[in-house]
């Protein structure tokens, strides 16, 4: 049964390796492109079952077993034919689907009640995502609802330079109850994660995909239990899934995905209430406290006649305690409109703008843990929009898109829907034309008009795909700085890295790898391409694969490695290159032949000479100096 345990200790790493090795990476693809999603089942109501007394309880090794029985959650016939009974779960394919969704479930042990979640558990989840990051296209975290927004907010900061979607979801009613919101929440999360490039930590609940660090739980009973009060949904899942790509917050730095697995625990929430005493405030602000989220009235106000309380904030700020002011209201933000807010600013309290309590608290824990930053830098970053958690300007609205409007007017198009559809046609064409023309100024202009830099054309290709074929490094770097995604696959299942490799643009490959790109798809298919290059003596192509961190011991379908093929075709320079990269020489193909056996059988004299001089190297699972 495809349920894998995750624990805090050694078993966590071992089970994650088992999950990766038993995913579908080593299998051939079907006729429809596939997306692979990892589900981290941490616990919560969504997977609970009722005991003999009718009480909901978490139960190990149940969720996958039951999911296999639900035809809308698992295509048993296809899965058995393709993978066997122990393979991943597979969503059924509908006529409108562009990708088949495969998903593995990593079950935590023990399963958590989310009210018991701690910072250690956030770190645990983040590290599991890190270990599996290159092997899956997206991640879904099944989580209890009570502290779900805290986890979503914390992960949004901890997962630095995130390039893939992470969706956290749960339910108010267990997924296996006859009337449950869990089925729709889970199913929609899987479909969105598999089909849409939204490189954010998100929350899906009801019919809305929301930015994780903008959400709060607003109801204990409603199926619409979460809301994003100060920011619109990133997507809505109705009959069609409608994504607001202009609202997506994309990383714009040339950095690789990383997990910041340290958090400062000396943080807290202090809510102002009538008649709060200065003694209580003073006690709260004493060491070891280092950061406080201050929840004030309205637009950031406290009683104006409470100099005793303000002096406590002033003294704490002087000691280096970072105090962040946010409103107690569900919507809106703090501002310096009123005198009490100004008094707080003068006392050293900084604005948290429109952050939720969950976002402000977890951001404080994240920022304060950055030992390389001094106090002033930390104060600065608390007021900086790091992951879309606070309003800093606004995304382009339809009224801003005067370029599209001008075309719409000439075509006598007036409806909002048609104008938005026109933008999805015009912008990819103009972006791609600017890439081919190497016109960086036009790329900047188009982004200013509201173009989504990762928008796809009809073949699913982005401007970055085109740039990686064209080979101009400056254009690629420009697109990456604008937030272009390195992970988007076109309709042929090719990423920008695939194009850079197959056009041998080595500097571009290195840049993409620096930004977190990695080879996608079946290992056998990658092995087949490397074998073709080795057979042709194409060392330049093999260097491209080397820069892309490929494994030169990877076999193709007949069990042969690139060294087998180079030996068979007597490609001496290729053999030397592969041997210099530590490729094992004793690897056997499906008929039991080593590279030397093939060279001797084919009469490849140079190959025989080179391989005969080489001590057999065992394939220990470490090749090219990589694990």
User: What contacts 273, CB < 8 A, 6 or more positions away?
Assistant: none
pLDDT at 447: 83
Q: Model confidence over 187-232: pLDDT tens digits?
A: 999 999 999 999 999 999 999 999 999 999 999 888 998 999 999 9
Q: Model confidence over 304-361: pLDDT tens digits?
A: 888 899 999 999 999 999 999 999 998 989 887 667 778 898 899 999 999 999 999 9
**Cα 299 from chain centroid?**
34
Q: Six-digit token pair at 40?
A: 């981290």
Cα separation, 257 vs 136, in Å, equals 14
Q: Six-digit token pair at 21?
A: 């090795």
Tell me, what DSSP letter sits at residue 590? T
Residue with tokens 């700020």: 317
Q: How far is CA 25 from CA 68, 88, 179, 183, 296, in A?
A: 21, 11, 36, 27, 52
For 252-282, the DSSP string reads -SS---EE-------EEEEE--TT--HHHHH
pLDDT at 215: 97
Beta bridge partners of 324: 293, 350
pLDDT at 265: 97
3-state SS track over 355-390:
CCHHHHHHHHHHHHCCCCCCHHHHHHHHCCCCCCCC
Please give the positions annotated as active site: 45
Q: Is 611 helix (H, G, I), strand (E, B) or coil?
A: helix
What interhelical angle do 307-318 and 339-346 show, nearest 10?
30
Q: How far is CA 407 from CA 94, 246, 400, 433, 443, in A?
A: 35, 19, 14, 17, 19
pLDDT at 396: 40
Segments in the chain below pLDDT 70: 1-31, 337-338, 392-424, 615-627
Cα separation, 562 vs 575, in Å, equals 9
For residue 159, give the H/E element and its range. strand 159-160
CA angle 486, 531, 466 (to 5 degrees): 30
For 100-111, the DSSP string reads EEEEEEEEEEEE
Q: Is 342 helix (H, G, I), strand (E, B) or coil?
A: helix
pLDDT at 59: 85
Q: Six-digit token pair at 45?
A: 């109501």
Q: Which residue, 565, 563, 562, 567, is CA-closest to 604?
A: 567
């Amino acid at each position: 049964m495809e349920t894998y345990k995750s624990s805090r200790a050694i078993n966590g790493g071992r089970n994650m390796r088992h999950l990766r090795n038993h995913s579908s990476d080593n299998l051939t693809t079907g006729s429809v492109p596939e997306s692979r999603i990892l589900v981290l089942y941490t616990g919560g109501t969504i997977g609970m079952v009722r005991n003999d007394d009718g009480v909901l309880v978490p139960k190990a090794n149940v969720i996958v077993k039951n999911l296999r029985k639900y035809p809308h959650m698992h295509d048993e016939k296809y899965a058995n034919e393709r993978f066997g009974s122990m393979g991943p779960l597979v969503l059924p394919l509908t006529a409108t689907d562009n990708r088949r969704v495969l998903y593995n479930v990593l079950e935590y042990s023990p399963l958590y009640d989310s009210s018991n979640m701690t910072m250690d558990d956030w770190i645990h989840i983040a590290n599991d995502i890190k270990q599996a990051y290159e092997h899956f296209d997206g991640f879904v975290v099944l989580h209890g609802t009570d502290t779900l927004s805290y986890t979503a907010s914390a992960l949004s900061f901890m997962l630095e330079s995130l390039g893939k979607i992470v969706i956290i979801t749960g339910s108010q009613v267990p997924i296996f109850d006859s009337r449950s919101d869990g089925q729709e929440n889970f199913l929609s999360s899987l479909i969105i994660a598999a089909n849409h490039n939204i490189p954010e930590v998100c929350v899906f609940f009801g019919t809305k995909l929301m930015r994780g660090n903008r959400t709060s739980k607003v109801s204990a009973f409603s199926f619409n239990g979460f809301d994003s009060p100060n920011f619109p949904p990133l997507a809505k899942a109705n009959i069609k899934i409608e994504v607001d790509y202009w609202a997506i917050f994309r990383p714009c730095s040339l950095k690789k995905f990383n997990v910041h697995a340290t958090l400062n625990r000396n943080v807290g929430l202090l809510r102002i209430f009538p008649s709060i005493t200065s003694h209580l405030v003073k006690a709260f602000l004493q060491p070891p406290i280092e950061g406080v989220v201050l929840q004030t009235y309205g637009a950031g106000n406290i009683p104006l006649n409470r100099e005793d309380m303000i002096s406590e904030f002033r003294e704490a700020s002087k000691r280096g305690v970072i105090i962040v002011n946010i409103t107690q209201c569900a919507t809106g933000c703090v501002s310096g409109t009123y005198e009490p807010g100004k008094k707080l600013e003068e006392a050293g309290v900084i604005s948290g703008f429109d952050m939720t309590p969950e976002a402000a608290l977890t951001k404080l824990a994240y920022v304060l843990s950055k030992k390389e930053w001094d106090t002033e830098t930390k104060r600065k970053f608390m007021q900086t929009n790091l992951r879309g958690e606070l309003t800093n300007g606004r995304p382009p609205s339809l009224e801003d898109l005067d370029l599209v409007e001008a075309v719409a007017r000439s075509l006598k198009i007036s409806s909002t829907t048609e104008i938005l559809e026109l933008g999805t046609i015009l912008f990819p064409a103009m972006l791609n034309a600017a890439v081919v023309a190497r016109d960086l100024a036009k790329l900047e202009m188009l982004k200013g008009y509201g173009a989504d830099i990762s928008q796809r054309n009809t073949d699913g290709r982005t401007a970055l795909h085109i740039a990686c074929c064209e080979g101009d490094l400056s254009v690629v770097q420009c697109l990456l700085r604008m937030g272009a995604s390195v992970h988007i696959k076109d309709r042929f299942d090719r990423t920008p890295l695939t194009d850079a490799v197959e056009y041998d643009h080595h500097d571009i490959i290195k840049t993409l790898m620096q930004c977190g790109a990695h080879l996608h798809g079946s290992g056998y298919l990658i092995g087949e391409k490397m074998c073709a290059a080795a057979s042709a003596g194409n060392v330049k192509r093999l260097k491209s694969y080397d820069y892309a961190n490929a494994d030169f011991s990877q076999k193709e379908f007949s069990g042969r490695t690139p060294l087998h093929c180079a030996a068979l075709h007597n490609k001496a320079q290729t053999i030397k290159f592969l041997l210099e990269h530590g490729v094992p020489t004793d690897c056997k193909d499906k008929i039991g032949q080593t590279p030397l056996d093939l060279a001797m059988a084919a009469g490849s004299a140079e190959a025989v000479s080179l391989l005969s001089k080489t001590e057999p190297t065992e394939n220990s699972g470490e090749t090219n100096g990589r694990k």
